[in-house]
Structure 1
Amino acid sequence: MDEFDIVAGAITSRRSVRGFLPDPVSVELISKILATASYAPSGSNIQPWNVHVVMGPKRDELSRLLLDAHRQKLPEAREYEYYPVQWRSPYIERRRATGWGLYETLGIQKGDRQASAAQHGRNYAFFGAPVVLVFAIDKDLRQGSWLDYGMFLQNIMVSARGCGLHTCPQAAIANYPGIVKRLLGIGDDQTVICAISMGYEDSSCPANQFRPPRIDLDEFVVFHS
């Protein structure tokens, strides 16, 4: 296997796993992954990432607080807009295909709000993952630093695959930034971006059988010569 195949294998085997085993992940392994990911490029090398590694009782407390907010239907207070304010084609069709594809895999019927809410709530249980990485960025940094952050996040997920782990990036945690900030001591001068749940895949979990499709190359690439 050549170097490209090794890298490509880590990238193409990365997916959002929604069912993890409780097996612990060592601090040493997490540190190795984060140190590797920190080689992501950033404009003028400012390295805008702030990472909170949440495990053990603190992870359980964070999950409990977020689940309580979700079940009580507390107002969400996201500090930034992740999705378009107005959906349009082709993005709305791709979103629906992914959402209903997952729900069909899980046997959740359209209109079953109770089951849908329960599945959404699993975000706040971190799908059973023993490790949760929470990411924040200084509020005065601009779009370029958010681009840098995306490359850092991808490095984490690909590095995790190289170590036999799986991940699930989760924007849902940003719905309740106040809870996250209070528990983890994150200042109001920072924005909670997202989380990544990390651990070993539970291959028996039905949700992990779903594979969202990828669009063909000719749908997003134009070659110029």
Structure 2
Amino acid sequence: MKRTPRLVPGSWTRPAALERVLSAAGWAPSGSNIQPWHAYVVTGAPLAEIKKRAGERLASGDPWDEPEYEMYPAALKSPYRERRSAFGEQRYGALGIPREDLEARQRAAAANWDCFGAPGALFCYIDRDMDRPQWSDVGMYLQTVMLLLRAEGLHSCPQMAWAKFHRTVGEVLSPPDELVLFCGMSIGFEGVTADDARIGRASLDEMVTFVDGL
């Protein structure tokens, strides 16, 4: 469960920092070194156009795109179901939005497609012929990008939400047909004055089993 993001604009030249980050992230591990990720880093007018088109779709009530992959199992079992529910309660509770206020929840969720105000975004694709091990490689790549961004003083927020508008992103980026948009990632500067809430995590005992000879 990611932290509720509060990303804000800042001075943003064509970032040498991003070039350093992505050059280093290319060394993320992948099975047999096939490196299945395809990243598009977008700033300036192209990102503004993606945000604009996404906003227009939201305003018009245009339905989400046909999914190219399933984000969650149809029947999410325990304890994952409870964790997902708790995330929603904490996320919207921190914003002062009650469970029954669906309209306010939708407005809050719409911030995803403005990249939470961030001045940069990364859109990560994977070849549609890849299988689950390669998707896990992409996860390691994205985690590596995020850690390296922190080392550069930047913050980020990965967003599967962008996969719901993959056609809109594709209209601007024109990726090859064989690629599937896995997620976007907002990249910017932390809004340090924002009233933010850290989402809880499962305990160590729930997540880790230590097996030793003692």
2:2 is equivalent to residue 29 of structure 1: no
Answering whether residue 131 of structure 2 is matched by residue 109 of structure 1, we say: no
Is residue 97 of structure 2 the alignment partner of residue 98 of structure 1? Answer: no
| Cα distance change, pair 33–16 in 1 and its aligned pair in 2 (3 A) | farther
> In the alignment, residue 7 of structure 2 is paired with which amino acid?
F
Distance in 1 separating the partners of 2:159 and 2:73: 17
Give the Cα–Cα distance (whole angstroms) in 2 for the partners of residues 48 and 25 of structure 1.
Answer: 29
Matched, 1:59 2:50: no
Q: TM-score, normalised by structure 1?
A: 0.88
Percent identical among aligned pairs is 36
Name 1:163's counterpart in structure 2. 152
SS in 1 for 2:7: coil
Give the gaps of 5 or more residues in structure 1: 1-14
The answer to whether the 8 A contact 1:126-1:132 is kept is: yes
Counterpart code for 1:93: E
**Counterpart among 179, 183, 191 of residue 172 in structure 2:** 183
Structure 2 CA distance for aligned equivalents of residues 63 and 16 of structure 1? 22
Equivalent residue, structure 2, for 1:43: 31
- The answer to whether residue 131 in structure 2 is matched with residue 142 in structure 1 is yes
- 8 Å CA contact 2:3, 2:199 repeated in 1: no
Aligned AA for 2:17? L
Residue 17 of structure 1 deviates from its aligned partner by: 5.0
Cα distance in structure 1, aligned partners of 2:44 and 2:35:
28
| Contact residue 24 and residue 199 of structure 1 kept, 8 A | no
Q: Which runs of no fewer than 5 residues in structure 2 stay unpaired?
A: none
RMSD: 1.4
Of residues 153, 161, 179, the one that matches 2:142 is 153
The Cα offsets for residues 18-72 of structure 1, whole Å up to 9 and x where unpaired, read as 2222103442111111111111011111111111111011111101111222232
Match for 2:97: what amino acid? I
Deviation above 3 Å: which 4+ runs of structure 1?
A: none
TM-score normalized by the length of structure 2: 0.93
Give me the whole-angstrom Cα distance separating, in 1, the residues matched to 2:4 and 2:49.
22
Please say if residues 4 and 91 of structure 2, whose CA atoms lie closer than 8 Å, have aligned partners that are also in contact.
Answer: no
Q: Report the count of equivalent residues.
A: 209
| 1:75 match: secondary structure | coil
1:217 aligns with 2:181: no
Say which SS state the counterpart of residue 124 (structure 2) adopts: strand
